[in-house]
Structure 1
Amino acid sequence: MKLLNIIILVGIALRANSATIPVKNTQELKEAMTGIRPGDTLVLQNKEWKDAALQLKGIGTAQKPIVIRAESPGGVVFSGNSYVQLGGEYLVFSGFHFKNGYSPKREVISFRIDNKTLANHCRVTGIVIENYSQPERFKTDSWLTLYGKHNRIDHSTFGNKLNAGPLLIAELDDERSQQNEHQIDSNYFKGRTRFGSNGGETIRIGVSRYSLTASRTHIVHNYFEHCNGEVEIVSIKSGENVVSFNTFFECEGGLVLRHGSGNIVEGNLFVGNNKPYTGGVRVINPKQKVLNNVFFQLRGTQFRAALSVLNGVPNSLINRYYQVTDADIERNTFIDCSSVLFGAGKDAERTLSPQKVSFKNNLIINHSKQLYEDANQDKGIQFHQNAVSSSFKGQLPEGFIRKAFVQLNKGELTLPYDEKAGANLPQLSFITKSETGAQWYQPEILPSRSAAQVYKVSAAQAGDLPSIVSKSLSGDTILLTESTNYLMKESLIIDKPLIIQAASGLKKRPVLVNGSFKSIPAFIIIENGGALKVKGLAFKGAYESYGNVESGIMSSEEPMNKPYVLKVDGCEFFDFNESTQSGFKGSKGTLADSLLFQNSIFHHMSGSGINLATEKDDKGIYNAEYTIIRNCIFSNLLGSAINVYRGGNDESTLGPFVTIDHCTFNEVENREQGTVIRLIGAQQADVKNCLFSESGQGGRSVQFQEYRWDKISVDHCNFYASGKIESFYNKAAGKAIFSVKPIYKNAKTLDFRLMNALPKAKDGTALGANF
């Protein structure tokens, strides 16, 4: 559809009085453009405006702004490829709803029309943007970008942005946009899913190139809920900004003073509620102030600590880490937080410890025996008049005293208070969700279904499976009813939550095979919006003289922006006879929120069992956030059983998380310098209770390439005639590592039950898989 190009040119007219001008269609809009002046209001008719490209240019005044609003708040819906560009002075853009589309430009709403026409003293208020992400995950844009000076974004609601790029940006790319005094206030940031890469910030102010410049943006009275895109929720990359009186609710990450100096973080509330990885404030660069904040039950550590003050880099480039000096961290309250860390990120590059840091009049209530950690211990942190509760049992550090505190009720929280230590609670009023966002907005409630449908499919109906999957609805189940071959001629496309499983009582698994002479990429392909549970099926890669199948299951190679979920239980993958083939493959550009493989067997394959190694750009990107492989067997594989890859040294993410528990690896990847389990760059990896026999003989059983802060472990595992455990820091192997020959009941028939006594697993059961 051709875009509706609307250019509103507002000039000074000869009319004496302000006017309200209704706009019902394109023709009326063109007529309304003539003679619009300060104080006029342009009212867009309630309806869907699809593919609307609006350039709103005009000159209003402080007393008589030009208002562009919906006929009723939320009544105008911009969809498709709609976007808005503001230019001029004193424009107010109010009451609109963006959904079901994405912008073809760099921004959905931009405070400039072009490099010559910026917006100043303009306001976007009472809008909602949701379901407006680029369909391709790594196609970068922002929903709002501030240019010019003295602009405001307020009382708006922003849903889950799924693609790359901060939701909201303040740019400082020329002098007309610097020292800008923008205000971002009273907005509701309604979550952001883990992005699995850098570029998942909610707000970014500035960029490293202009970070020595003052922005003077105020981020005030906003509510951030479940903003988990990456480690930086709010990324400050400029100077003299103020971030105050915001609430961060259960957010996996923190407010990061990444670049710039002279920033103030004051009066904010960080609520973790003991959720993993919830964070607070990270301090980098000189002359930063962190004052009068409350940090409650935050469980993040390292860069996600309640407070982390980083080490700097000598002679740092502008995009690295300047040394922290002359910082004031005063009158903050830390309640039951996992970590307060000085010298975070200390390594071979970041060697400059924080200096002249005043940590004064703070209150730490902590049930552990350690109040804080100082990685440098060189007196660069000056502790004065801080307090802990009288019940603290640990050794009291210098600069702390024990005190008894009164309890004050602050909304839903009851917090300790003292006049001299901790946040000044009587003067703080924490912002609540109901006080922010577009007040007219009510989330759409989808109608519920009375019951999910169950489709029973015989082998003779195998050709109907694609159409059955297509017509099924979310939550439906497809049952394969026969223990025989199901001849597939095309892939099953999963774009909704479904269950595909064998009928109960079958003696053998139904077997999916290719019944076409053409190769197909996979028996099952998970596309955008898909989630799948597969149980009790077999996937056979080669069948008679029919075409090849590259993978049993894979994520789509088409654009995806939503993380997917896959659960595989009691399945079998075999006869994938090319080195490029695999039982499961995560495609490039896709992210699994979670993968679960349990009670399953991968055998007689030339490729890999589970391939999560398609992101090879070394930018910290990976294929799956959580991967759990439990009670599985891998036997007679020419390639790796499990291949996970995350390249590069980007520090924006936590994952991938990998757990491999009670698995058996027999005759897997015995080529020269081969590896049974490749966990390259996995930041959280645990291999436990596993049994390796005659695997990785030409190289490694388990291989890591970790950074010093990664948490990796191999323990309670048996390695018989198998390769080594290899890691960069040689700290992966635990104490319970064994080398005893296992005797299996019948390895040739894939019965790997143990017939002899081996050391026990950590949980007291037998090592390896048991089925």
Structure 2
Amino acid sequence: MKKRNNPLLLIATLLLAMNAGYSQRIPVKDNQELKSALNKAKPGDSIVLANGTWKDMPLFITTSGSAEKPIVIMAETPGGVKCTGNSFIRFGSDHVTVSGLHFTDGYAVKESIVDFRKGDNLANHCRLTQCVFENFSKPSRSDDDHWITLWGKKNRIDHCVIGNKLNTGTTLIVELNDERSQHNEHSIDSNYFKGREPLGSNGGETIRIGVSRYSLTSSNTLVHHNYFERCNGEVEIISVKSCNNRLTENTFFESEGGLVLRHGSGNIVLNNIFIGNNKPYTGGVRVINPGHTVANNLFIDLAGKGFHGGFTVLNGVPGSPLNRYMQVTDTDIHHNTFVNCKTILFGAGKDEERTLPPARVTFRDNFIQTNNATVYEDANKDGGITFTNNRYSAKTVAAAPAGFVAEKPTLTAITWAGQQFKIPTGKYGADLSKLNWMSAANTGAVWFRPEQSVVRKPSVHTVAAADSQQLNAIINNAAPGDIIELTEVGLYKITDPLVISKPVVIQSAAGLKAKPELVSIATTGLPAFMVIESGGSLNAGGIIFNSAYENYGAVRSGIATASKPTSAHYILKVDGCEFINFGEGGHVCIKASKGTYADSVLISNCIFRNNAGMGIDYGAEKDDKGIYNVAYMRVENSVFANTLSGAINVYRGGNDESTTGPSVHINHCTFHNVENRMQGTVVKLIGVQVASITNSVFNFSGKGGRIIWLEEMAWDDLKVDYCNVYDSGRISTFFGKATGKNIRNRKPSFKDAASNDFRLAQTNGLIGNDNKPMGVL
């Protein structure tokens, strides 16, 4: 393990390098002076931006330096210049360095934040260093852009912090669709890629090198000594779509996805470290196309399966076009170490289209330490993989597979970023002396220190029924995380939706004999009682949402996201609430709008009753491009009763394979007299990749169609089991494999359905897999 370089020494070295051949130091304090300085700059000049906030800063660079005398554009103090609003950089010349800028609190309206071209002029031998990019996403998740785009030749991006792009589009791309940008020899090194939240669609890569159209072209890009922390945008963290690139000495930490050799050939993956800590979907390397080398990499505790596996070699498509899957051939995989990885799979993606197995692939001198029952999986078993001189350590493997010898390894303890790992060492597997354990401490801008979140005790704001009209003002003035407490039983009358633009809790006070009831006294209908806007998250508890009150306008939703798309994620928790009298088909008790994305939606101990509209609707993304509204949904111990429309709808259309969600779990719920119209569906989960419906009761529901409708891919993980289905519709799945053996068909007896007590009066054998009665508890 290499020691971190002294930050002061790094800065001093950087300043010396930037001032080599120093000619003139030009201080500037605003955009006008910056423009003038750029027009007058000569090789060797340094343009120094005054510390402070530079809003809407256009940095157009058209004057070139030279190898001996580069032009330098730098902050007065590294990190002292904040570029906000519509700020951007356009490198349109050669031998220019930009250093020490902090891009935050804005977004580039057009194209990239940093583009290594201006018009038709491409940049060569230019450098972006010691810069930080954060909180610079476009407002809408569907607005496509890239933060940094490399053109030209021999440009370098180094020692930058690049964090959490929320909207569609790869964070950093290397373009090849200009002959002047091919065989480019760019360097992307020593950067800290500080996370990327799941996008919920394709287009969430952190780095992409090339594109399928030019994938047979050499890029010769070097990606090395970077740290990727929780880069979870989609299945591909780095997507290589070109030839002859080197990806070396990078560290990937708890990232949901992998380094993917998607197109192209002759790429080298060497001396990288992948650490999953058994987090779901964490992956390593995925190999497609011919002629690659994957050597001396370390894979630790990667829990991903299938395309997200620790190591996967895919099947190809016969006669594949450039944008599909070419056969893996002539690939050398050697001296890698795998420690407790859930999936090592050859022939991944095998289906009716991907039928070409890997051929002339060598897997040699590797070490696999596994807790699985098998050392690896081979979907083809046709000899296309040659296993030679490998070692493994396992407790449950019955016999050594061909090309492997069981061996008790010598373990070397490695301490990294406060964690300790015990890694097998020896003649086989990775040579640890060649690995550089990158981290936040030895990558990125040396001046950057992330703001530390301060844990504060939330304030409680009490609201009596008579003060209902003050609710919006109270929410607006509350701090993030505060609690808005409704203190009285009775009607809370509002005239406008409650706007949630920060994380808040809205709940009934403890000890009340009944729930406070939200009603509208607006003369016209309201879109919702509570609207979650950008930046908001909501925890709602112990409230009745009554859509129809006297002769006032109806409320169309209990809780909804704003109709305007947003890139900010949110969390919704609803516990112990009732949703009643949403009396029209277009009404929805809980609703997500197109262009919004929930990390999690957690519904518990709720009642949805006497509604014409749907209960929970997260099916607004209808474009069939693999986009969805919620990553994880859990509905438990809840009742849906006497409802004209369906209970739960989650939709992910299309056949895109780049994402992990949605994941939906329904447990101990009761559905009584729900959606009995012709072709109706009670629970519709289209394209959901992980789902379980367990310990639930369906009674007199879905009679004209289905109680459950699943449209799944062959590899999706679905389970419907320990449920009671009586006088109800059918369970419909595409492959017919989701339904378990414990589906009952017995008439349930409820304690007091007229009073909305849908607990079973007698179990009559209706016991779930947790030894509790089925249905609501």
Q: Equivalents in 1 of 2:43, 2:279: separation in Å?
A: 50
1:767 correspondence with 2:774: yes
Q: Give the one of 62, 69, 81 matched to 2:67.
A: 62
Q: Tell me how far 1:508 sits from its aligned partner.
A: 1.7
- Deviation of 1:91 after TM superposition, in Å, equals 0.4
Residue 224 in 1 paired to residue 236 in 2?
no
Q: Identify which of 101, 113, 126 aligns with 1:96.
A: 101
Is the CA contact 1:369–1:395 (under 8 Å) kept in the aligned structure 2?
Answer: no
Q: 2:523 aligns with which of 514, 517, 521?
A: 517
Aligned equivalents of 1:417 and 1:757: distance in 2?
A: 53
Matches for 1:613-624 after TM superposition, within 5 Å: 613-624=619-630
- Post-superposition CA distance 1:508-544 (Å, at most 9, x none): 2111111011111100011111111111100111122
Task: Please list, as runs of the form range in 1=range in 2, the aligned pairs for 1:389-404 lying within 5 A after superposition.
Answer: 389=393, 393-404=397-408
Match of 2:3? none
1:695/1:295 Cα in 2 relative to 1: closer, same or farther (>3 Å)? Answer: same
Deviations 1:181-217 (A, max 9, x none): 0000000011111111111111111111111111111
Q: Is contact 1:392–1:402 with CA below 8 Å preserved after alignment? A: no
Distance 1:50 1:401, change over 3 A: same
Residue correspondences, number: 753
Check the 8 A contact 1:407/1:414 in 2, yes or no: no
| Percent pairwise identity | 52
1:739 matches 2:745: yes
Q: Secondary structure in 2 aligned to 1:370?
A: coil
> Residue 595 of structure 1 is aligned with which of 597, 601, 607?
601
**Map 1:361-376 → 2, pairs under 5 A:** 361-376=365-380
Helix, strand or coil at the partner of 1:460: helix
- Which letter does structure 2 place at the counterpart of 1:76? V
Contact 1:70–1:94 under 8 Å retained in 2: yes
Aligned to 2:139: 135
Aligned positions of 1:108-257 closer than 5 A = 108-114=113-119, 116-257=120-261
Over residues 83-122 of structure 1, what are the superposed CA-to-partner deviations in whole Å (9 max), with x where a residue is unaligned?
11011110001111111110011100110011x2110000
TM-score w.r.t. structure 2 length? 0.95
Name which of 670, 689, 705 aligns with 1:664: 670
Residue 437 (str. 1) matches residue 437 (str. 2)? no
2:303 maps to what in 1? 299
Per-residue CA deviation, residues 197-240 of structure 1 (Å, 9 max, x unaligned), is: 11111111111111111111110000000111111111111111
Note the alpha carbon deviations across 1:54-98, whole angstroms, 9 max, x for none. Answer: 101122111111111111101111101111101111000111111
**1:424 maps to amino acid:** D
Residues 331 and 415 of structure 1, relative CA distance in 2, 3 Å threshold: farther
**The one of 422, 429, 450 aligned to 1:422:** 429
Q: Which of 21, 38, 41 lines up with 2:43 in the alignment?
A: 38
Partner residue of 1:10?
Answer: none
Q: Give the 3-state SS of the residue equivalent to 2:476 in structure 1.
A: helix
2:276 counterpart of 1:272: yes
Contact 1:106 / 1:140 at 8 angstroms: preserved in 2? no
Q: Work out the CA distance in 2 between the residues paired with 1:420 and 1:437.
A: 34
Q: 1:688 matched to which residue of 2? A: 694
Distance 1:533 1:760 in 2: 31
Map 1:318-397 → 2, pairs under 5 A: 318-389=322-393, 393-397=397-401
Taking structure 1 as reference, are residues 429 and 769 closer, same or farther at Cα in structure 2, changes over 3 Å only?
A: same
Unaligned runs of 5+ in 1: 1-15
User: SS of the counterpart of 2:63?
Assistant: strand
Which residue does 2:654 correspond to in 1? 648
Q: Distance in 2 between matches of 1:100 and 1:671?
A: 50
- Runs ≥4 in structure 1, deviation > 3 angstroms? 25-35, 390-393, 409-420, 445-449
* Matched residue, 1:485: 491
Q: Distance in 2 between matches of 1:530 and 1:170?
A: 35
Q: CA deviation at 1:563?
A: 1.1
* Deviation readout 1:557-595 (Å, 9 max, x if unpaired): 123111101111110001111111111001110011001
Q: Which residue of structure 1 lines up, in the alignment, with residue 589 of structure 2?
A: 583
Give the Cα–Cα distance (whole angstroms) in 1 for the partners of residues 534 and 415 of structure 2.
40
Amino acid at match of 2:290: P
Once residues 394 and 769 of structure 2 are traced to their aligned partners in structure 1, the CA distance between those partners, rounded to angstroms, is 39
Aligned residues of 1:204 and 1:235 also touching (Cα < 8 A): yes
Q: Counterparts of 1:17 and 1:767 in 2: how far apart (Å)?
A: 78
1:47 partner amino acid: G
2:512 counterpart (498, 506, 513): 506
Q: Which residue of 2 aligns with 1:754?
A: 760
State the alpha-carbon separation in 2 of the partners of residues 456 and 428 from structure 1.
57
CA offsets, 1:431-486, max 9 Å, x none?
A: 2331100000111235554x422222122211111111111111211111222221
CA distance in 1, matches of 2:289, 2:687: 28
Deviation per residue, 1:357-410 (Å, 9 max, x gap): 111111001122201000111111111111013766431100001223322344
Question: C-alpha displacement at 1:743, in angstroms?
Answer: 1.1
Change (3 A) 1:35 1:522: closer
For residues 721 and 565 of structure 1, what CA distance do their matches in structure 2 show?
A: 36
- 2:375 and 2:397 in contact (8 A); partners too: no
SS at match of 1:521: coil
Deviation at 1:35, TM superposition (A): 4.6
Q: Which amino acid aligns with 1:234?
A: I
Cα distance change, pair 310–154 in 1 and its aligned pair in 2 (3 A): same
SS in structure 2 at match of 1:59: coil
In 1, are the aligned partners of 2:704 and 2:729 still within 8 Å (CA)? Answer: yes
Q: What amino acid is the match of 1:275?
A: K
- TM-aligned CA distance change 1:607 to 1:25, over 3 Å: closer
User: Taking structure 1 as reference, are residues 495 and 390 closer, same or farther at Cα in structure 2, changes over 3 Å only?
Assistant: closer
Q: In 1, distance between residues paired with 2:611 and 2:117? A: 56
SS state of the match for residue 205, structure 1?
Answer: strand
- Between the aligned partners of 2:323 and 2:261, the Cα distance in structure 1 is 13
Task: Note the alpha carbon deviations across 1:583-620, whole angstroms, 9 max, x for none.
Answer: 10011100110011111000111111001111100011
Structure 1 position 74 matched with structure 2 position 65: no
CA deviations on 1:615-661 (whole Å, 9 max, x unpaired) are 10001111111100000000011111111111001111111000000
> 1:350 is paired with a residue of what secondary structure?
coil
How far has the Cα of 1:488 moved from its partner?
1.3
Amino acid at match of 2:439: T
Alpha-carbon displacement from aligned partner over 1:700-748 (angstroms, at most 9, x marks no partner): 1111000000001100000011111110100011010100001112212
CA distance in 1, matches of 2:40, 2:702: 79
Q: Is the 8 A contact 2:565 2:594 kept in 1?
A: no
1:687 Cα deviation from its structure 2 partner = 0.1
CA distance in 1, matches of 2:157, 2:392: 40
Distance of 1:392 and 1:638 partners within structure 2: 53
**What is the rounded CA distance, in whole Å, between the counterparts of 1:492 and 1:414 in structure 2?**
49
Could you say which residue in structure 2 is the equivalent of 1:714? 720
Q: Amino acid of the residue matched to residue 493 of structure 1?
A: V
How far residue 420 of structure 1 moved from its aligned partner, in angstroms, is 3.2
Counterpart contact for 1:83–1:105, Cα < 8 Å = no
Distance change (3 Å), C-alpha of 1:26 and 1:160: closer
Would the aligned equivalents of 1:310 and 1:354 in 2 still touch at CA under 8 Å?
Answer: yes
Partner AA of 1:505 in structure 2: G
- Among 405, 411, 419, the alignment partner of 2:409 is 405
**Counterpart in the other structure of 1:4:** none
> Structure 1 residue 417: deviation in Å?
4.4
> Cα gap change, 1:455/1:379 in structure 2, threshold over 3 Å: closer, same or farther?
same
- Describe the SS at the equivalent of 1:522: coil
Unaligned runs of 5+ in 2: 1-20
